[in-house]
Amino acid sequence: MTVPPLRPLVVSAALAALVAGCAPPPAAPPAASGPAASGPAEAEITAARIAAHVQVLSHDGFEGRAPATRGGDLATTYLATQLALLGLEPAGDNGTYFQQVPIVEATVDRSFSLSVPGRTYKYLDDVVAFSGVEDARVAVSGDVVFVGHGIVAPEQKWNDYAGVDVKGKWVLIMVNDPPAPADEPTLFGGKALTYYGRWTYKFEEAARQGAAGALLIHTDESATYPWQVVQSSWTGTQYALPPAPGAPALGVKAWISNAAAIDLVKRGGQDLDALRAKASARGFTPVPLAVRASATLTQRSARKVAPNVVGVLRGEKADEAVIVTAHWDHFGVRAPQPGEPADADRIHNGAYDNASGCAAALTMAQAMARAGTKPGRSMYFVFTTAEESGLLGSEYFAAHPPLPMAKVAANINVDGANYLGPTKDIVMLGSDRSSLGPMLQALATARGRVVGEDTHPERGYFFRSDHFPLAKAGVPALSLSEPKQFEGPNAAALLARQEAYNGKDYHQPSDEYDPAWDFTGAANDARLLAALAWQVAAAPEMPAYNAGDQFAEVRTR
Ligand SMILES: [Zn+2]
């Protein structure tokens, strides 16, 4: 692989101080009304330290931190070294800081076909598919059952698979949640997207039901993105964890265009719009279609391995834990584009996403390691791999945890730390779901700050970062999100800069470290989150999801 020449690393005073282990003066002393003397050493968390870690992790030499690459290995080596320097114990495989995560890379051949008597649907135009198994050639042939939204939600008394056996068959599924009717305004979260609405859930449930293949019906409104996004996102190389031995897996996972779905249902003797109307109301039962569908999928697949980096600060209750997560991976070096100059910047440095979150988590670890006392419960720091490929590192960690998930009091995830200066608010996805919310609220109030809201609940951001696999396992979780209330005379301009990043730099090589970045707000957030984690670790009771929340019953089932 050829990469552009390296920019020199500017060894700033902050970086020198970090390496020398001497603390630069704290940007602001912890609030007098903050936690008691036994809390984390919050003065260790400074904007300068965060900036130093970001500068290293987003350096060109790390080549965009793609899993299973040299740059990725350098990033995980750096993180493990930092944990070791802080005195955290290794909590990965065989006494190391590394939990090796197997990753399946698969590319489906364009020869994929899906056909019913009288019609073959065209790959890319009508259907896009991948597989839940690693076989080079997968064939699925069977009856098709329309299962509405494909949801089994006992707490909502909703079952789209009621009374039907779909083993070995195709299921045809609508994406998104059923609408909340006037007499049940909070059904499936009302306007907010619940996990039952996400495409990932639809495939998971179809596999649990024993289906051989699943077809998700695409519409612009229900998917919230056009068919072109389906085409670009689910073609080319796909990444997944290998299925656990004996676990159910779908032979074919597909998206089908609305027009093709209408045709397929018609050939099965039904009208899709009529079925959709039925499926949106309580009492829907699945509808077997009078049609058989067959698909053949050929793929190239290979296994790779990339580690989660895991360290632990043992607590008084060593067998219970609070877990802090931040993903280290990003997109690596992108392929040259036709016509661009040879020296074009192709390195996805991922400075904000998520060198900044790793940096904030490292400073939290430092504050805790230097607290002078042990935390109540053990404090795990987990730097996850392959988040950008579908939360793979955290899914693997949740499936292979160093202690039972029922012993994990809480998860705090950092995916992006604010580089635009201090804010009044701190926004934590999930703060409305569990007793972690009121604890966060109290700590924020004591520091003269406020807890902001998720302003786009319909987009389902809670389901899109590394805390989510832990939430699915029943662990109360929070994930740091973007603030909205910048302080000072430039507040409006800073908010506009944040919006501009989302439009222009998000997931682009231009997400690069800028010496003008101001991590004061990130340091304030990291101090608050370190205090919260410490308090959760010390509390006699474990936090819990609010009654009626989708994840409330996981631990009692
Ligand atoms: Zn991220």
Residue bearing the bigger pLDDT, 221 or 468: 468
pLDDT at 28 over 60: no
25 confidence band (pLDDT: 50, 70, 90): very low
Please give the average per-residue pLDDT across 27-49, as a whole number.
Answer: 72
51 alpha carbon to ligand 1 midpoint, in Å? 17
**Which residues, at least 6 apart from 413, have a Cβ–Cβ distance to it below 8 Å?**
324, 325, 326, 357, 465, 466, 467, 477, 478, 479, 480
What is the C-alpha end-to-end distance of the chain, expressed in Å? 50
291 alpha carbon to ligand 1 midpoint, in Å? 42
506 alpha carbon to ligand 1 midpoint, in Å? 9
Residue 274 CB coordination number (10 Å): 11
304 alpha carbon to ligand 1 midpoint, in Å? 21
In contact, 73 and 329? CB cutoff 8 Å: no
225 alpha carbon to ligand 1 midpoint, in Å? 20
In contact, 111 and 244? CB cutoff 8 Å: no
How many residues does the structure list for the chain?
A: 557
**pLDDT, position 231:** 87
How many percent of the chain have pLDDT more than 90?
80
Could you report the per-residue pLDDT of 48-83, keeping only the tens digit for each?
999 999 999 999 999 999 999 999 999 999 999 999
Which of 157-161, 231-235, 411-415 is the least confident region? Answer: 231-235
Cα torsion 188, 189, 191, 192: sign? negative
Distances (CA, A) of 154 to 475, 522, 547, 551: 19, 40, 13, 11
Q: How far apart are CA 155 and CA 550, in angstroms?
A: 7
Range 300-313 burial, b when 16+ CB lie within 10 A, else e: ebeeeebbbbbbbb
190 confidence band (pLDDT: 50, 70, 90): confident
Which of 177-186, 243-252, 437-446, 547-556 is the least confident region? Answer: 547-556
In contact, 403 and 319? CB cutoff 8 Å: yes
Please give the average per-residue pLDDT across 355-377, as a whole number.
Answer: 98
155 confidence band (pLDDT: 50, 70, 90): confident
Residue bearing the bigger pLDDT, 63 or 6: 63
pLDDT at 380 over 60: yes
**pLDDT, position 189:** 86
**pLDDT, position 548:** 83
Task: For Cα atoms 385, 306, 412, give the angle at the middle one, nearest 5 degrees.
Answer: 25
How many percent of the chain have pLDDT more than 70?
93
Give the global pTM.
Answer: 0.87
pLDDT at 16 over 70: no
Please give the average per-residue pLDDT across 470-481, as a whole number.
Answer: 97
413 alpha carbon to ligand 1 midpoint, in Å? 10
458 confidence band (pLDDT: 50, 70, 90): confident
356 alpha carbon to ligand 1 midpoint, in Å? 10
In contact, 369 and 530? CB cutoff 8 Å: no
**pLDDT, position 460:** 84
**pLDDT, position 4:** 53
The two tokens of residue 455 are 């302003």
Please give the average per-residue pLDDT across 464-484, as a whole number.
Answer: 96
484 alpha carbon to ligand 1 midpoint, in Å? 18
247 alpha carbon to ligand 1 midpoint, in Å? 29
33 alpha carbon to ligand 1 midpoint, in Å? 33
372 alpha carbon to ligand 1 midpoint, in Å? 32
Q: How far apart are CA 439 and CA 377, in angstroms?
A: 17
352 alpha carbon to ligand 1 midpoint, in Å? 8
